[in-house]
């Protein structure tokens, strides 16, 4: 019996305009686009917040947490206060006032462009409930110091009876001590010129000893240290405020918060407050 020839299969050319689905390179443009978009978003966030990514925390050197599991109330200090930021979203200031809280420091700005989104709310409520208020700026040594001072001054408008401005200095951003101190001085000078009032420097005990000791001694000092007894004492240097815990509890505030004491009398505290020259704040 004769065999029949088997016809050859026709080759089908790929349709123009469509990628070859069997090619391992087909997914690469999409993947590269996603990665590029991700880095673009990070870059924008980094620029907007002055070198700060929202999901990354600054490394606070030896972050004052030594023995912080021991929460205590310092003896001999009757004037107490708190400091808050966007981490403390809801605060019942009337309830806070009833617990003998006299003063508050409220985060206003950070870096060159970042604004604390709860500043206005806390700032207004503190004054409404007769809690002395002060505003602070979180300093980033790697960013322009003049820009940081302007960021704070554009955001904060002190009124008579407000506490002095505060510069929070507790990270290095991998800058030298000289660079850090140079930027700190620029910020302090600009803010003092605006309000004719010496700003307060806030820092933790370890950062002060390592980077600031022997400098800025004519500025009021707010020291953070959570170890009990006398380890918050600084030789040959007086402090004005002491943040003695970051695990404080108050009715009207959810979760932990920072608590502070003032080293002086109520008269001393009132004398520290801002009084506009020539009867106006601007």
Tokens of 55: 């999901």
83 is known as an active-site residue? yes
Q: How far is CA 15 from the centre of its chain?
A: 58
Rg (CA), the chain: 28
Closest CA to 138 of 92, 182, 105: 105
Helix H or strand E segment including 243: strand 241-248
**Among the options 78, 83, 116, 209, which is catalytic?**
83
CA distance 121 to 155: 13
Three-state DSSP class for residue 81:
strand
Three-state DSSP class for residue 37:
helix
**Among the options 110, 116, 162, 170, which is catalytic?**
170
CA distance 78 to 76: 6
Helix H or strand E segment including 124: helix 119-128
CA distance 109 to 231: 30
Residue at token pair 């600084």: 234
Q: Where in the sequence numbering do the catalytic residues fall?
A: 83, 170
């Amino acid at each position: 019996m004769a065999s029949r020839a088997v016809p050859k299969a026709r080759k089908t050319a790929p349709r123009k305009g469509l990628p070859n689905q069997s090619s391992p390179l087909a997914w690469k443009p999409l993947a590269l686009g996603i990665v590029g978009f991700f880095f673009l978003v990070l870059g924008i966030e980094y620029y907007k917040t002055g070198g700060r990514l929202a999901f990354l925390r600054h490394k606070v050197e030896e972050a004052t947490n030594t023995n912080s599991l021991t929460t205590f109330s310092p003896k001999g200090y009757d004037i107490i206060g708190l400091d808050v930021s966007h981490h403390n979203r809801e605060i019942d200031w009337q309830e806070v006032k009833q617990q003998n809280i006299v003063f508050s420091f409220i985060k206003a700005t950070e870096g060159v462009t970042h604004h604390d989104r709860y500043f206005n709310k806390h700032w207004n409520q503190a004054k409404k409930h007769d809690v002395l208020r002060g505003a602070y700026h979180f300093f980033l040594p790697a960013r322009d110091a003049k820009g940081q001072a302007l960021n704070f001054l554009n955001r904060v408008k002190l009124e008579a009876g407000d506490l002095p401005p505060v510069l929070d200095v507790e990270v290095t951003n991998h800058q030298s001590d000289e660079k850090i101190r140079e930027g700190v001085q620029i910020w302090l000078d600009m803010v003092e010129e605006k309000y004719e009032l010496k700003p307060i420097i806030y820092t933790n005990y370890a950062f002060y000893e390592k980077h600031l000791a022997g400098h800025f001694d004519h500025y009021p000092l707010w020291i953070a240290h959570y170890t009990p007894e006398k380890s918050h004492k600084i030789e040959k240097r007086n402090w004005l405020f002491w943040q003695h815990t970051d695990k404080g509890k108050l009715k009207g505030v959810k979760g932990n918060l920072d608590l502070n004491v003032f080293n002086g009398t109520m008269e001393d505290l009132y004398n520290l407050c801002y009084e506009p020259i020539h009867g106006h704040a601007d």
